Amino acid sequence: MKRGSIFELDGVPRLREACPLALQHVVAMIVGCVTPAIIVAGAAAGGLNSQDRVILIQASLLMSGLATLIQLFPIGKRGKFAIGSGLPMIMGVSFAYVPSMQAIAEGYGIATIFGAQIVGGIVALIMGLLVKKIRVFFPPLITGTVVFTIGLSLYPTAINYMAGGVGSENYGAWQNWLVAFFTLAVVTALNHFGKGIWKLASILIGIIAGYIVSIPFGMVNLSSVGEAGMFQVPEFMHFGIEFEISSCVAIGLLFAINSVQAIGDYSATTIGAMNRTPKDGELQSGIVGYGLTNILSACFGCLPTATYSQNVGIVTTTKVINRCVLGLAAVILAVAGIVPKFSALLTTIPQCVLGGATVSVFASIAMTGMKLVASAEMDYRNSSIVGLAAALGVGVSQATAALSTFPAWVTTIFGKSPVVLATIIAVLLNVILPKSRDEKKEEERKQKEVEEQLERDHKEFSE
């Protein structure tokens, strides 16, 4: 390949420029990538043994790296139909699925998550092929409501982790709270007063600081690191795959939502760093790639992946869009994923440390949703949609006995995680409730802009 600038999409930049920028992306996302695996492993019925926990984390790193490489360097002709968008995106295991995955892991086991993930990947494929027709049902008001509900539903997980983890012998002990709040204080201070890499790596640095403080309290056990090997590729079908209808419905709906969320990340990247809107072919190929890589990931024991918004923020801030830079970050992730000792070390992080670090992440997710909601006019109609969707979604999931007389599948889909019910209510209300005259005019204007853009893209692709 020809020599290229870090500010150009194609070409190979100098290694001394690419390495620190690639590490910046890895540092910003690696904690978020492996934490869902740690949470789900703890939620599994009976709990996973230390070896399976390591394999789950390994798969998260390795397959996230592979999914990123496919997005960066599509299979097929870029700009036409391909697998992967060709845009500077980072993929990683997503927190959006955690509430539903916890419920499935507790009720049915890890293998059922991977079965549902395959179904979700197929849903994403369909979303990609029909992206132009489907995206109209998920305006910012709806996606914002869903993201806000996801953030709210993750708060109890963070608080339980701060207390030491449900089921642990010292749950609620003052030592857990001390370490958790110390970790949170470090993360918060770096977020508000840190600059450069200190701010970008605030969560990672906070976890390291909390980890060190937790050692004198006897919270760290390194025996699993000594037992782990130096090199191992995650096994094909190690956890197995099982299909359960209610789990497939719950995860499939989340894949549909994340497909729409991905459109927002693609758009933010191209508008913020490339001064253009994403092309229709890029959106379609990107979401198709998202679906196919998730099907492949399920076979190798990696939980559902999605586009990473924090890395979108790095790209739009630095304007560094070179695919080789992000590709190097993906390679670093993949290499880390085939070193069991590294994955085993991550499993030794005390739950109170993870809770202190991730509570700010969950808060950020909720606030991201609020920002999306606020981008729409908050009149009585829109306030009703957001309020009712969040109230019923969160309310039903918190009142655990509310659906006790219904079949088990109803509880799995609607009662275990607030996200599914909130999404269905928000979409239905948005379709049913009448829009104001101004909203209709604005919607028609935006639809006309979209159609004109699609027509320009079609002409460009034809040429």
Q: What is the mean pLDDT of residues 64-90?
A: 86
The closest alpha carbon to 274, from 28, 78, 74, 7, belongs to: 7
Q: Is residue 403 part of a domain?
A: no
Instruction: Examine the pLDDT at 61 and tell me if it is beyond 70.
Output: yes
What is the reported pLDDT for 272?
A: 77
What is the reported pLDDT for 457?
A: 47
Higher pLDDT, 232 or 186: 186
Q: Is residue 56 part of a domain?
A: yes
What is the per-residue pLDDT across 281-291, written as a single tens digit (0 to 9) for each? 888 899 999 99
What is the reported pLDDT for 118?
A: 97
Q: Give burial (CB, 10 Å; 0-12/13-18/19+) of 420.
A: buried
- Give the mean pLDDT of the chain: 82
Q: What is the mean pLDDT of residues 253-259?
A: 86
Which residue's entry shows tokens 């197995």?
240
What is the reported pLDDT for 124?
A: 94
Q: Kind of pairing, strands 82-83 and 75-76?
A: antiparallel
Instruction: Examine the pLDDT at 436 and tell me if it is beyond 80.
Output: no
What is the reported pLDDT for 244?
A: 92
Q: Is residue 424 part of a domain?
A: no
Picking from 40-44, 60-64, 417-421, 429-433, which range would have the lowest pLDDT averaged per residue?
417-421
What is the reported pLDDT for 30?
A: 80
Q: Is residue 342 part of a domain?
A: yes
- Please give, one letter per residue, the 3-state secondary structure of 384-421: HHHHHHHHHHHHHHHCCCCCCCCCHHHHHHHHCCHHHH
Number of domains the chain contains: 1
What is the reported pLDDT for 45?
A: 66
**Contact status, residue 366 vs residue 145, Cβ threshold 8 Å:** no
Instruction: Examine the pLDDT at 330 and tell me if it is beyond 90.
Output: yes
Q: What is the mean pLDDT of residues 80-86?
A: 82
What is the reported pLDDT for 463?
A: 44
Instruction: Examine the pLDDT at 160 and tell me if it is beyond 50.
Output: yes
Q: Is residue 356 part of a domain?
A: yes
Q: Is residue 382 part of a domain?
A: no
| Tokens (6 digits) for 427 | 């979409």
Domain that holds residue 31: 15-367
| Tokens (6 digits) for 223 | 């025996």
Picking from 76-85, 93-102, 333-342, 426-435, which range would have the lowest pLDDT averaged per residue?
76-85
What is the per-residue pLDDT across 268-312, written as a single tens digit (0 to 9) for each? 788 778 888 788 788 889 999 999 999 999 999 999 999 887 777
Q: Is residue 400 part of a domain?
A: no
Instruction: Examine the pLDDT at 354 and tell me if it is beyond 60.
Output: yes
Instruction: Examine the pLDDT at 396 and tell me if it is beyond 80.
Output: yes
Q: Is residue 438 part of a domain?
A: no
208 pLDDT band (50/70/90 cuts)? confident
Question: What is the pTM (predicted TM-score) of this model?
Answer: 0.75
Q: Which amino acid is at 63?
A: M
Instruction: Examine the pLDDT at 449 and tell me if it is beyond 70.
Output: no
Higher pLDDT, 170 or 413: 170
Instruction: Examine the pLDDT at 234 and tell me if it is beyond 60.
Output: yes
Instruction: Examine the pLDDT at 196 and tell me if it is beyond 50.
Output: yes
The radius of gyration of the chain from alpha carbons, rounded to an integer in Å, stands at 22
Instruction: Examine the pLDDT at 140 and tell me if it is beyond 50.
Output: yes
What is the reported pLDDT for 451?
A: 55
